[in-house]
A = this chain, B = another copy of it.
Amino acid sequence: MILQIATGRPNESVGAVIDIARDARKAQRQLAAVSDEGRRDVLLAAAQAMVERTAEILAANEMDVSAAQPEVDARNLTHAMLQRLKTSERGVAEMAARVRDVARLPDPLGRKLGETELDDDLVLTKISCPLGVIAIIFESRPDVIPQVASLALRSGNAVIFKGGSEARNTNEVLVSIWRQALGPFPEVLPDTINLVHTRQDVTELLTLTDAIDLVIPRGSREFVRYIGDTSRIPVLGHGEGLCHVYVDRSADLEKALAVAFDSKVQYPAACNAMETLLVHEEIAAAFLPTIIQQFKSAGVEVRGCPLTIALAGTANLVPAEEQDWATEYSDLIVSIKVVGSADEAIEHIGCYGSSHTESIVTEDPGLAAWFMEVVDAAGVYHNVSTRFADGFRYGLGAELGISTSKLHARGPVGLEGLTSYKYHLIGTGHTVAMYEKGERAFKHRRLT
C-alpha cells in the first residue's frame, strides 16, 4: 500500500486525522526555523524528484484514469473531471517548473512589516511568519499537490492534503515523492506533508480548530461553498465572481469597447469575467449598438433591459429578467442594463456584485476616484478589463485563488496569504511597573 509510505501510517482509523495534524504541527515548528535557502533547496529537490520519477507518477495516474473511465460512462464523473485528472510527461515537467518558480520567489517570512522604538533599548518589530498547519481539500487535479506543497513549504507551513478518491493513486505517489525528497534535509520532517483519504477524515478535519489554522478548498463553486458552510476552521475559498463593467457617459468609446469586450470574451469561464455590463443612458445610443454587434460576432448571447433592447437596433436580444442580474454565467452570455447615473450603477453593483472585481470606464478622474472609493470589492478598476484580477498579472508570482473575503487575504492570494505576523519585542529587562510608576515614559518613535 502506497499510503503507508505516503503518510507513514498503516491505518486510517477514526482519530487518525488529529494525530496527523499534531505531528504536522511539530514538523511545522521545525520548518519555521529553516532558512530561506533551506526552504528553497527543498522545493528544488522535490521538483527534481518529480521529473526523475515521472514514470511512477504516470503509471499511478494511468491506474486512476482507467478506474475512472467506467465512472464517466456511468455518469458518476464528468468528462471534464477525467480530463483534469489525466496527466502526462509534459504535465509532470510543467508541475516541476511551477515548483521551481515558487522556489525563486522572494522569502515571504521574516519581512519587517513595521518597527517602533517604544523607549531606549526597547524595540518592537512586526514581522511576517508562517500560518502553521494548512489543510487543502481538492477534487481531481493532482497538480494541486506540487503547487500547494511548494507554496506552503516556501512560506514555512505544514500541509494536510485530502484529494478526491478518483485521483488516489496519483496523489499517493506525488505525496510519497515529496516526503522522500525531504530525506536529505534533516530539519524538514516528512510530516510537513501529509495525505488523508476518507470522507470521514474531512468531517473530522473540519472540526480541528486548534490543530489546523486554515482550510483551503479547491474545486467547484458548490464544493467550496459546502466546505465554507461546514468548517469550524477559517476557510480561504476561491470567491464567486459576479463582476461588472460600468460605462459612464464620460467614457472614451474606444476604451469602453476594448474593456467591455475583453472582460466578457477573452475567457468567459473565469471568475474575473464580466457578467453584467452597465451603461449610462446618455452614452447608450452611441455605445450599445457597436458593442452588441461585437458580442454577437463573438458568439455572445446578449440579454438586455428594455432600453437596451430598444437601442440594440436589428440585433435580436433576449429580455433580461431579475435573475440575470444575480447570475454568474461563466459562459458566453452577458446581461446589459442602462442606468440613469453612476449612482444607480454603484447601487446595482452593491446589490448584485460579489465583491470580486468591478471596473468603471470614464475620462473623469474625480468620478473614477469616487467609484473606486465607494465600491466595495477586492478589485476596483478604472479603464481596465476585469480579467486582470489574477495573481500572475498582479506580479505575485503564484496564485492560490482569488479571495472575496475582507479578512486576512483579499483579491489574488499568493505566498503572502499563507503568512501571518508576530511582534518581536527586545529589551534589557524592561518592566511595565517602570512606566506605570512614571519612572519612564514611552517614546513611540516609528523606525519603519
Contacts and interface: CB of A to CB of B under 8 A. Distances in A.
Nearest to A255: B429
Interface string A393-432: 1110000000000111011000000001111111111111
B370 A33 contact: yes
Main SS at interface, chain A = mixed
A436 to B, nearest CB: 7
A380 B423 contact: yes
Interface in A370-386: 370, 372-374, 376-385
Contact of A422 (B261, B379, B426, B435): B379
Interface in A253-274: 254-255, 258-259, 261-262, 266-267
A210 to B, nearest CB: 10
A213 interface: yes
Given A406-B213, A407-B408, A436-B266, A431 B385 contact: yes
A71 interface: no
B266 A425 contact: no
A131 interface: yes
A381 B118 contact: no
B381 A429 contact: no
Nearest to A117: B395
A360 to B, nearest CB: 10
B379 A427 contact: no
A252 interface: yes
Contacts of A267: 432
A411 B423 contact: yes
Given A131-B406, A407-B234, A118 B395 contact: yes
B426 A384 contact: yes
A406 B420 contact: yes
B116 A254 contact: no
B393 A118 contact: yes
A387 interface: yes
A226 interface: no
Nearest to A430: B384
A410 B411 CA distance: 20
Nearest to A29: B374
A381 B425 CA distance: 5
A185 interface: no
Given A266-B436, A420-B406, A420-B407, A29 B428 contact: no
A402 to B, nearest CB: 11
Contacts of A1: none
Contacts of A262: 431-433
A388 B433 CA distance: 10
Interface in A122-155: 122, 124, 129, 131-132
A168 to B, nearest CB: 31
A216 B271 CA distance: 31
A436 B266 CA distance: 9
B33 A373 contact: yes
A6 to B, nearest CB: 26
A376 B29 contact: yes
A32 interface: yes
A59 to B, nearest CB: 35
A84 to B, nearest CB: 21
A245 to B, nearest CB: 12
B385 A430 contact: yes
Interface in A97-136: 116, 118, 122, 124, 129, 131-132
26 contacts: A29-B346, A29-B374, A32-B376, A33-B373, A33-B374, A116-B394, A129-B376, A132-B406, A213-B406, A214-B407, A262-B433, A266-B432, A266-B436, A376-B422, A377-B422, A380-B423, A381-B427, A385-B432, A387-B432, A388-B425, A388-B432, A406-B420, A410-B420, A410-B423, A411-B422, A411-B423
Given A118-B393, A258-B431, A385-B430, 15 more contacts: A33-B370, A33-B374, A116-B395, A213-B407, A258-B430, A262-B432, A376-B422, A381-B427, A383-B430, A384-B427, A384-B429, A385-B431, A395-B446, A410-B423, A411-B422
